[in-house]
Amino acid sequence: MKYRTGLLLSAAFAMGVLVSPVTMLLRQHSGFGVFTSAQAQQDNTRSDPYTLLNLFADVFEKVRADYVEPPKDREMIENALSGMLSGLDPHSRYINARAYRAQQVEQKGEFGGLGIEITQEGGFIKVISPIDDTPAKRAGVKAGDLIVAIDGVTVLGMSLEDAVDKIKGAPNTKVSVTIRRIGADKPIEMSMTRETIKTPVVKSRLEGDVAYIRLSSFMNEQGDRDLRKAFADLKAKSGGKLAGVILDLRSNPGGLLDQAVAISTDFLKQGEVVSIRGRHPEDGQRWQAKNGDITDGLPVVVMIDGGSASASEIVAGALQDHRRAVLVGTRSFGKGSVQTVSPLGNNGAMALTTARYYTPSGRSIQGLGITPDVEVAMTREERPSFFPAREADYKGILSNTGGAPTDSLAPRTDLPAIAKDIPKKPPEGTPAFDPAKPETDFQLQQALIVLHAMSPKPAAN
């Protein structure tokens, strides 16, 4: 796809004798010289970008000269970039150099480290879970452990990002962590050697005769490859007697567009997967599935919920429009836009919303989400949310334009008869969900019922 780029020219104020390197840079790249305040006031009715950039330079120099403490130029510029991009819509953003490096590592799916999922709690770093077959797992790190120091340096006051940077490093280098554990009467010191850690986004298992495949993200460039391998392994374990596939996309926030297309193609023999349309008609593009469907026509159920966004919705929308899968769960997030990430040299990158995407039937799900074919909630009571639960909850979202009417997709006539009897909520007394016990996953149990009803019945003898 071609994307237009432009050259930004600007001019700046001269504030007495105080002219920063940033102001000089603005001046050097301007064909307009330097305006005086009087000139700027005469031109304040103009709205061309050069006059407005003079306003930026004026404020920048005023802050440098008079703020109560000396500010850092880079931080001010990066904050300005963040404000400019985030003010466009909820998904355009500036990515600083460190965050961009971390994003690139995440996309490759491997890094040098210990193999622990962590979060921040009470000023300390809490272990969510150690990853199997990693230094952390072999050393005995446990879920719930609190990391209180890294290489002898306390983590109090340390950001989660800084802690991650200290734990990660080149393979075959050592790092020590100090852990507090419930039940232990003193801190535990562990010294571990970093290894290359792979971050799997695919988890799979057999649920009886059903291949259950969970995809937690589309950010990993290896997601499609790992999904294919997972399906092949489960098919072999079942002796080639699978009844169908459940693709679990719940709480999957999305990621790479090419991974969404590839994974959709894994279940489609042919047909359009997704199209995108940007500001310029010539930049529109369509992606087609060709010679796909690794399942050879097995029934497929896709599970979605309010956390299924972006690339997850592309896959769910494509399989729903083509009547290739039955969607079970709750309405998805509703992010129908595409962001293009443009590197900015050594200064990170910018993610800019450049297009809306549309399902094969022409629907835009922007702000609306995808409605499942069989609605099933995880709990009886809706859980309170203190953050935007869906795209429509954000301020400044893109409008839903250019797509087919929301009711343009004809009602499904191919659902199994039992679908109408599936309860929308768990009955009274249903056990609370425990991730370690699939039988307590009410949505999954209903998905299994739907899938078995979709499976072809063996012929009578």
Which positions are catalytic?
A: 310, 321, 335
Residue type, 425: K
CB of 218 closer than 8 Å to CB of 256: yes
SS3 439: helix
Q: What is the dihedral of CA 62, 67, 71, 77, to 10 degrees?
A: -40
Residue type, 92: S
Q: What secondary structure does DSSP assign to 51-78, as a single string?
A: HHHHHHHHHHHHHHHHSSSPPPHHHHHH
| Structure tokens belonging to residue 329 | 């769960």
Q: Kindly tell me the burial class for residue 457, based on how many C-beta atoms sit within 10 Å of its own C-beta (0-12, 13-18, 19 or more).
A: exposed
Handedness of CA 95, 100, 103, 108 (dihedral sign): positive
Give the max Cα distance, the chain. Answer: 97
- Residue in the block written with tokens 């460190």: 98
How many angstroms separate the CA atoms of 127 and 449, rounded?
Answer: 35
CB of 286 closer than 8 Å to CB of 257: no
Strand pairing partners for 276? 285, 357
Residue type, 86: S
